[in-house]
Amino acid sequence: MAKITLGMLAGSISGAIGSTVFSHNRGGAYIRNRTIPVKSTTTYSDESKADFTAASQAWSALTEAQRESWRQWAAGNPITDVLGASRQLAGNAAFTMLASRLLRIGSSMPTTPPTEGAPPSLTTLVFDGDIGAGDFDLTYTGTPLAANHRLYLYGCTVPTQSKRYVENLYRQFNVSDAEQASPYDIQAAFTTRFGAPVVGQYCHCKAFVVDDATGLISAPQRASVVVSTT
């Protein structure tokens, strides 16, 4: 792996050219050789692929007027990509993004785009990790969530504090009920996804608020904890 410093001709690079992959982490931009990915066959990946496939197929069932409304919505609602730049999705990509997310949380797919904005993010988030006392939960404000809002949670574990950059490790592991109140016990869901927490282990959580009618999500709140026992 080679680290690079970008200059005037290229302020940021992400992607691949041939067998060379351009990426970045907390230390800056770097280049590595392309590797052949291992096919993932976990329950989580299979469900995610099934939701994405169903959402992609549903696009063709929309009327042309409905598809045009999604194109217009996508033009007015750009996303932020991995480099922090604003990027405009195509209409079918915008539809698939929200429709697959709605399927993931157990809601039905939309036919028309949202008419309101994304839900507000959590004001605060604290991750408690005492497995002895059974206090492996999230405490947050505001609480409870609104009637059509749920927690949409990503997490990861690392063995030491020295691993500071964890964005590439986050995996979706839980969706709460609507109107979920704080504190929210996540130990069972976290254990199912990542294995039983171990004392001294560093656990990270990234929490979005998702609207179960539109599929829109808030900006995330992040929290981490060192697992303990009492």
Taking only the tens place, the pLDDT of each residue in 134-151 is 899 999 998 999 999 999
Report field, pTM of the whole predicted structure over 0.75: yes
Shared domain for 11 and 99, answered yes or no, is no
Asked if pLDDT for residue 133 goes beyond 80, the answer is: yes
Residue 112 belongs to a domain: no
Q: CB-based contacts of 31: which residues, under 8 Å, 6+ apart?
A: 1, 2, 3, 4, 20, 21, 22, 23
User: 76 and 168: one domain?
Assistant: no
Whether residues 22 and 88 share a domain: the answer is: no
Q: Which domain holds residue 56?
A: 43-104
Q: Are residues 128 and 220 in the same domain?
A: yes
Residues 48 and 27 reside in one and the same domain: no
Q: Is residue 114 part of a domain?
A: no
Establish if 119 belongs to a structural domain: no
pLDDT value, residue 43:
80
Domain co-membership, 51 together with 139: no
Cα–Cα distance measured from residue 212 to residue 209, given in angstroms and rounded to the nearest whole number: 9
Checking if the pLDDT of 99 tops 90, the result is yes
- Note the pLDDT tens digit of each residue in 209-223: 999 999 999 999 999
- Cα–Cα distance, 74 to 59 (Å, whole number): 14
Q: What is the reported pLDDT for 117?
A: 94
DSSP class of 167? G
